[in-house]
Amino acid sequence: MTEPRTVRLVQGGPIMIEGPVRIEMPDGNVVESDRFMVAVCVCKRSRTYPLCDTSHRRRRRGADDSDADSSAPCDASGQRSA
């Protein structure tokens, strides 16, 4: 019997999964990663979706510094939460 995979939810960031992983997308495409730890994007801002490229860390365009906290978490729709 194999040991269960560890999945870690990161506040304001991706879902971390011990690799290697095979991700089956809703459209039938398959994304594989043989890395020892894989970050799966939850904000859908990643250019390498479904894999995280840290796009959740960047500020929105046009937001001034007073109300745009680049470390604020985003929700499932990709919007920053307070």
pTM of the model: 0.63
Copy the structure tokens of residue 1. 């019997």
Give residue for tokens 């490229």.
53
Q: Does residue 31 have a pLDDT over 70? A: yes
| CA 32 to centroid of chain Cα atoms | 15
> How far apart, in Å, are the Cα atoms of 44 and each of 30, 54, 66, 75?
17, 11, 24, 10
Q: Which amino acid is at 1?
A: M
Q: Does residue 36 have a pLDDT over 60? A: yes
